[in-house]
Amino acid sequence: MNGHVGDGHTRPSHVPVALDRVLDLLAPAVEAAGEAAVVVDTTLGLGGHTAAMLQRFPDLRVVGIDRDPDALRLAAERLADVAGRVTLVHAVYDRIADALDEAGVERVDGVLFDLGVSSMQLDVGERGFAYAQDAPLDMRMDPTTGITAAEVLNTYAAGDLARVLRTYGEEKFARRIADAVVAERDEHPFDTSPRLVDLVRRSIPAAARRTGGNPAKRTFQALRIEVNDELGAYERALPAALSALRPGGRVVVLAYHSLEDRITKRTFARITTTQVPRDLPFVPAGHAAEFRSLTRGAELASPAEIDENPRAQSVRLRAVERIAA
Sign of CA dihedral 266, 267, 271, 275: positive
CA atoms within 13 A on the CB side of 271: 23
CA atoms within 13 A on the CB side of 175: 1
- Is 93 labeled as ligand-binding? yes
- Is 114 labeled as ligand-binding? yes
* Phi, psi values for residue 45, rounded to 5°: 55, -130
- Nearest one of 34, 88, 96 to 238, comparing CA atoms: 96
* Phi, psi values for residue 97, rounded to 5°: -60, -45
What is the distance in angstroms between the CA of the first residue and the CA of the last residue of the chain?
A: 34
State CA 1 to chain mean position distance. Answer: 5
- Is 48 labeled as ligand-binding? yes
d(CA 268, CA 271): 5
- Is 55 labeled as ligand-binding? no
- Is 179 labeled as ligand-binding? no
3-state helix, strand, coil in the chain (%, to 5): 50, 15, 35
d(CA 257, CA 301): 14
Helix 230-244 vs helix 96-103: angle between axes, to the nearest 10 degrees?
50
| Number of residues that make up the chain | 325
| Annotated binding-site residue numbers for S-adenosyl-L-methionine | 47-49, 66, 93, 114, 121
| Annotated binding-site residue numbers | 47-49, 66, 93, 114, 121
